[in-house]
Amino acid sequence: MPGKQTKQEAKKPSVHGEASSPSIKDSQFAKQAGADRVSLPRADVDTDELSRLYRQMQLIRRVEEECARAYAQGKIGGFLHLYIGQESVGVGSIAALRHDDYVVGTYRDHGIAMAKGMAAKQVMAELFGKATGCSQGLGGSMHLFDAKNGMLGGYGIVGGHIPLAVGCAFASKYRGDGRVTLCYFGEGSVTIGSFHEALSLAALWHLPIVFICENNEYAMGTPLARTLSVEDVSQKALAYGMQRDRFFARDVLEVKQRIGEAVERARTESEPTLVEVRTYRFRGHSMSDPGKYRTADEIEAQKKLDPLNRAREQLKLLGRTEEQLAKLDEEIEAEVQEAVKFAEESEEPGPEILEPTTYSGPFAR
Amino acid sequence: MREIAYRLALREAIAEEMERDDRVLIMGEEVGRYQGAYKVTEGLFDRFGDRRVIDTPIAENGFAGIGVGAAMVGLRPIVEFMTWNFSAVAFDQILSNAAKVRQMSGGQFTCPIVFRGPNGSARQVGSQHSQSMDIFYAHVPGLKVLAPATPRDAKGLLKAAIRDDNPICFLESETLYNLKGDVPDPAEGDFVVEIGKANVLREGTDVTIVSWSRISMVAMQAAALLEKEGISAEVVDLRSLRPLDHETVLNSVGKTHRAVVAHEGWPYGGVGAEVVDRIQRYGFDELDAPVLRVSGADVPMPYNAKLEQYCLPQPETIAAACKKVLYRD
Ligand SMILES: Cc1ncc(C[n+]2csc(CCOP(=O)(O)OP(=O)(O)O)c2C)c(N)n1
């Protein structure tokens, strides 16, 4: 791509990822892994902001719990991949964005869609296959789209969306619109070619994108150790001369701050970053996965580290009363119930919708 | 005879061939310890171990190509695609390497490999996961493409495919995995089905329905509907898309003089269009009506359950096409 031709050697290593040291931060990383004690967040924390992010996470979780219920009742079909356990990643990272920035994700997309501004009822109606859903009932759970909020979709082919996200960043640089693209994917996507081609080009062309690898330790039933020869995903950035970061997603404000640094780099320097965020999904890969590949003890241990509980405890430490939190829960509950009702009462799309949505202009036969 | 499910028939075929020949191995995502995303390979990891039942990361282009290379130098890999949708990522390996290596090496190298997995729609899994890949592969010289509809053919053809010296795309269907049917007991001896032969699933005199894979079962339901109206339909199940046994199709059309081709894939081009062309090319004088096709709708598959069914061939739509070629609509 013509344009900025920064010399590699001119780049400063970032605070969190020195390009020269492959084993960077492993000791710090190991320490974080055990950091399950809730302590008061940094002094400059904005309680209202934490409360807002907590509310978003809690809303996503409650919406998805209702999705699981509706799925069991046969009201939702196909594949349903829940984000439960990973909410702090989507919510924290999108909190670092401007409204006109772009996000692109996988089939596990309810959380990022809602964090980017999609209403719960639009998600629910889509999953119910209704015409009032975000994609008019044509996409379903895996394919949530919301153009006006910069949600460029959930995609079903592992890794296939990563080059597409780079394309969005390319367009931003081309137009000089100052937007940043966040691209989400699991560690399972790191083994597929399009991941590497996308990173290679994003680095070569200095594009304003942040690659967020949500490393939840399992790609379907395959544990990390059998997916990657080097478990530190962030190291993949080294070969491309790309900045990197790596941390646990336990604290939603930390997610915001760390991703924020990468977003800032993208926006001001037009440089991409690969960020590995360690997280955990509490449910199966999808609703049909019995999850025999991990023990109940492992899941219980992870649930003790639930970022939602952490945020709630922090809010209490910061002075929010039980009453205030209960009121928040009530509001969320009302929103969830309204979403379900809306989805149930909405109309289904008819066949006349199929051709006009396939092509712009006349159908090409 | 004993009745077993399509899924088990496939598993038996793989296990028997692995037992028979150490060069046969299976690789793919979740085929081993997870016991298969759709449980086709259940138990094989425990039986044959990780040398021969190989879990791969998500890298279709990589492991399909590894399979091709291993086949060129003497192994006989079975590569499972979790679904055929994901084979698009590996398309280059199948198209440019597997299908070409024999001819471009002047016949020095063969590529005995089987690519297999479920093809086509499942239930409400949306446009990226519901694609019928039949024609993309049947289009390619150098490949053979099989699409069995019954447990018997699933087993017999998969065994034949594993023994074949050519690259083979073996298209299954998630919606057939639980289908039960007669399959010979292994105790009765080795059972294979010859590649390249269509099968008359049901005899009839008034109209021929040509189909394959899951839609052959839908065609059987259509024939049952037509029978109630006094119409006798013959159902020809192709089983093999390349080679395509037009002899069997033409024999049937010679009897009925009318034909409907039914399939799940899109109408533009496609295996169905090829069948229609062969009927008109070799059997024009036998026809009493133009051949009709019933296909999947010419749009990406929608998620909504009713729209999905609207887009798929139904017994009623196939029966209606049959009445049309009989001028009885
Ligand atoms: C190319 C391709 N191969 C296989 C699949 C089937 N599949 C869907 S999700 C998945 C696991 C992905 O794991 P990961 O990338 O870690 O993301 P997570 O599901 O944990 O969020 C697999 C194998 C697919 N959708 N696309």
Confidence at residue A45, expressed as pLDDT on a 0 to 100 scale:
84
Is B229 domain-assigned? yes
Is B21 domain-assigned? yes
Confidence at residue B329, expressed as pLDDT on a 0 to 100 scale:
84
Confidence of residue B232 (pLDDT cuts 50, 70, 90): very high
Confidence at residue A44, expressed as pLDDT on a 0 to 100 scale:
72
Indicate if ligand 1 lies below 6 Å from the C-beta of A110: no
The one-letter amino acid code at A295 reads T
Ligand 1 atom index nearest CA of A214: 21
Residues of chain B above pLDDT 90, percent: 99
Whether pLDDT at B290 is above 80: yes
B126–A220 C-beta distance less than 8 A: no
Neighbours of A125 (CB within 10 A): 26
Do B243 and B152 share a structural domain? no
Pocket test for ligand 1, best of A83, A220, A276 (most atoms within 8 A of CB): A220
Q: Is B66 exposed, middle or buried (0-12, 13-18, 19+ CB in 10 A)?
A: middle
Indicate if ligand 1 lies below 6 Å from the C-beta of A188: yes
From CA A202, how far away is CA A236, in angstroms rounded?
Answer: 13
> By alpha-carbon position, which residue is closest to atom 19 of ligand 1?
A219
Spans of all domains in chain A: 46-347
The 10s digit of each residue's pLDDT in B273-287 is 999 999 999 999 999
Of A134, A205, A193, whose CA–CA distance to A167 is shortest?
Answer: A205
Whether pLDDT at A4 is above 50: no
β-pair partners for B116: B80, B170
Do B218 and B168 share a structural domain? no
Whether pLDDT at A306 is above 70: yes
Pocket test for ligand 1, best of A157, A158, A222, A302 (most atoms within 8 A of CB): A158
Domain range for B67 is 2-188
Do B165 and B50 share a structural domain? yes
Whether pLDDT at B165 is above 60: yes
A227–B126 C-beta distance less than 8 A: no
Q: What ipTM goes with this model?
A: 0.94
Q: How much is the average pLDDT of A312-321?
A: 95
The 10s digit of each residue's pLDDT in A279-294 is 999 999 999 998 999 9
The 10s digit of each residue's pLDDT in A31-47 is 666 555 566 566 678 99
3-state SS class at B237: strand
Is B193 domain-assigned? no
Who wins on pLDDT, A177 or A10? A177
Question: Which residue does chain B place closest to A130, by CA atoms?
Answer: B304
B55–A222 C-beta distance less than 8 A: yes
- Is B246 considered catalytic here? no
Extract the tokens encoding A290. Answer: 């019995």
From CA B256, how far away is CA B21, in angstroms rounded?
Answer: 44
Confidence at residue A38, expressed as pLDDT on a 0 to 100 scale:
60
Site of tokens 């890298």:
B59
Q: How many domains does chain B have?
A: 2
Site of tokens 């020869």:
A229
- Is B234 considered catalytic here? no
Extract the tokens encoding A134. Answer: 């975000």
Do B13 and B99 share a structural domain? yes
Q: How much is the average pLDDT of B70-76?
A: 98
Chain A residues with CB inside 8 Å of B33's CB?
Answer: 221, 293
Whether pLDDT at A8 is above 80: no
Whether pLDDT at A7 is above 70: no
Q: Are B85 and B37 spatial neighbours (Cβ–Cβ below 8 Å)? A: no
> By alpha-carbon position, which residue is closest to atom 17 of ligand 1?
A186
Q: Are A234 and A240 spatial neighbours (Cβ–Cβ below 8 Å)? A: no
Q: How much is the average pLDDT of B125-154?
A: 98
Q: How much is the average pLDDT of A183-189?
A: 98
Which domain-ending residue is among B132, B155, B188? B188
Whether pLDDT at A1 is above 50: no
B306–A354 C-beta distance less than 8 A: no
Is A286 an 8 Å CB contact of chain B? no
Chain B residues with CB inside 8 Å of A156's CB?
Answer: 85, 125-126, 128-129
Do B227 and B133 share a structural domain? no
Confidence at residue A32, expressed as pLDDT on a 0 to 100 scale:
65
Question: Which residue does chain A place closest to B301, by CA atoms?
Answer: A138
Q: How much is the average pLDDT of B255-266?
A: 98
Q: Is the pTM of this model over 0.90?
A: yes
Return mean pLDDT, chain B. Answer: 98
Which domain-ending residue is among B188, B208, B229? B188
H/E stretch holding B201: strand B199-202
Whether pLDDT at A3 is above 50: no
Q: How much is the average pLDDT of A300-319?
A: 95
CA dist B190 → B153, B193, B199 (Å): 14, 10, 20
Whether pLDDT at B92 is above 60: yes
Residue B269 sits in a domain whose CATH number is 3.40.50.920
Mention every residue, 6+ apart, whose C-beta is less than 8 A from residue B120.
B84, B130, B131, B132, B171, B173, B175, B213, B214, B264, B265
Question: Which residue does chain A place closest to B125, by CA atoms?
Answer: A78
Whether pLDDT at A19 is above 90: no
Residues of chain B above pLDDT 70, percent: 100
Is B194 domain-assigned? no
Residue of B16, B17, B29, B60 marked catalytic: B60
Return mean pLDDT, chain A. Answer: 91
Report how far Cα A267 is from the mean position of its chain's Cα atoms.
Answer: 19
Whether pLDDT at A167 is above 60: yes
From CA A323, how far away is CA A303, in angstroms rounded?
Answer: 24
Whether pLDDT at B54 is above 60: yes
Extract the tokens encoding B127. Answer: 């446009």
Which domain-ending residue is among B188, B222, B254? B188
Chain B residues with CB inside 8 Å of A220's CB?
Answer: 29-30, 34, 37
Extract the tokens encoding A48. Answer: 């209202």
Neighbours of B38 (CB within 10 A): 20
Helix A87-94 to helix A252-269 angle (10° resolution) is 40
Residue B17 sits in a domain whose CATH number is 3.40.50.970
Q: Is A148 exposed, middle or buried (0-12, 13-18, 19+ CB in 10 A)?
A: exposed
Phi, psi values for residue B117, rounded to 5°: 160, 175
Is B280 domain-assigned? yes
Q: Answer whether CATH 3.40.50.970 is correct for domain A46-347.
A: yes
Whether pLDDT at A228 is above 50: yes
